[in-house]
Structure 1
Amino acid sequence: MPRSLSRGVVALLLSCTLLLTTAACGGDGEAQSVSGAPTPTASASFEQQKLAKTRFVANAGLAAGATYQWIVKPYRAGKFKKGADGRTFALVKAGLAGAFTYNRLKAATNNAKGDPLLSKAVAPLTAGIESLKDLGTKLRKGEVGDADVGAFEGVINSVKDAGKSAGAEVVDKVPSASQLSGG
């Protein structure tokens, strides 16, 4: 099989994996309601969550690790520039990492709701996390710029700072390829 054709097949398979992973990363089927309260409080369903801080740290750490390893680091190395060696594969991995990061940050905010102090620290960050929703697709298509990579870094750093202020320090943990692809 010609090299360009095999690269196209790999890119197509990874793109399909991204789409399936993004679709599978939706909610857990429970409807969430938005309250009119100015400050977040732990709801009954989230109060029952065991080890909320530990789960928050794990999910936020995976998001931070994926962002640094597959988005920030390759971007700084120039892997996303046109004509760069391995650009297509780097962009597909970055797209997967973007979707993974969004999913893990959403999970981390849900985990934070199980701890009153952590929920107050993380609540202001939900708008920033929502802004990352479509950046995975933008990365995969190669339409990424300094502002996009900066958005990922900014949200991750804000989540880390919020966790630290609530006594839940987040440490980067690079996810495995199977975790990244949703397997």
Structure 2
Amino acid sequence: MFRKVLVLPVLLVTLVGASACGGGKKADDSSARVAAGRSPAASSPAASPSSCPTSTTKHFAKTRFAADAGLAFGAFHRYIWNPYQAGSFKQGANGRTKAFAKAAAAGLFAANRVNAARKLIGSDPKLCKALKVPAEKVSAMFGSLAGKFKSGQLDPSEIGSVGSAVDGMKSDAKNQAGTNITEKTPNLGG
């Protein structure tokens, strides 16, 4: 029991540190606009499919995108959606604090993996045209959701909105880009 209690804070610190590391790169404008709450699709020509490449610029972009998105969506469903459906986030629920902690870690992990997937979208013309705008929306939603779990200020309708956006992105990936996203559940300590 002591080991499980110790692993979760270490995991949270690691995820927060990993998501805060920028590697010395300057943040791009679109992520700054998304973080500020403005829609990149409405304020930036970079979100339009006309800015997509004409040929693939990174090796195995679709495969790597599907792997990153699968990890993000798997973490979301296992640690956020399923506990939400079971009522684990309701006031007075048994194990509520643990569910919130795991959901916060999963939200940070999912935001990190969706951000990595979003970067790969821009390197494949088919992915870019089909998923650039939905991926930016999902990335912003995961970041916001993780922050709400960390602060304990959760609006249950937001989980439903994120779930709908995730399902929509999976559908668009399959139907428009020909890429099937298979969810993989990372182990976040239980």
Q: Relative to structure 1, is the Cα distance of residues 139 and 86 closer, same or farther in structure 2, using a 3 angstrom cutoff?
A: same
CA drift at 1:160 = 0.5
The change in CA–CA distance for 1:150 and 1:86 in structure 2 (over 3 A counts) is same
Equivalenced residues, count: 171
The answer for the alignment partner of 2:25 in structure 1 is 29
- Residue pair 1:42, 1:119 contacting (<8 A) in 2 also: yes
> Which residues of 2 match residues 10-159 of structure 1 at below 5 A?
13=10, 15-24=12-21, 26=22, 29=25, 32=28, 36=45, 38-43=48-53, 47-125=56-134, 126-159=136-169
Q: How far apart, CA to CA, are the structure 2 residues paired with 1:137 and 1:20?
A: 14
Pick from 170, 178, 181: which aligns with 1:160? 170
Checking the alignment, whether the CA contact within 8 Å between 1:61 and 1:170 is kept in structure 2 is yes
- The verdict on how the C-alpha distance between 1:92 and 1:158 changes in structure 2, with shifts beyond 3 A counting, is same
- Matched-pair contact (CA < 8 Å) for 2:16–2:108: no
Unpaired runs of 5+ residues, structure 2, are 31-43
Report the equivalent of 1:181: none
CA RMSD of aligned residues (A): 3.0
TM norm structure 1: 0.78
Higher mean C-alpha deviation, range 92-101 or range 150-159: 150-159
Instruction: Please list the CA deviations of residues 67-110 of structure 1 after superposition, one character each: whole Å capped at 9, or x if unmatched.
Output: 00000001111111222222111111100111111111111121
| Structure with the higher fraction of residues in helix conformation | 2
8 A contact 2:53–2:125 mirrored in 1: no
TM-score between the two structures when normalised by the length of structure 2: 0.75
Match of 1:170 among 151, 165, 181: 181
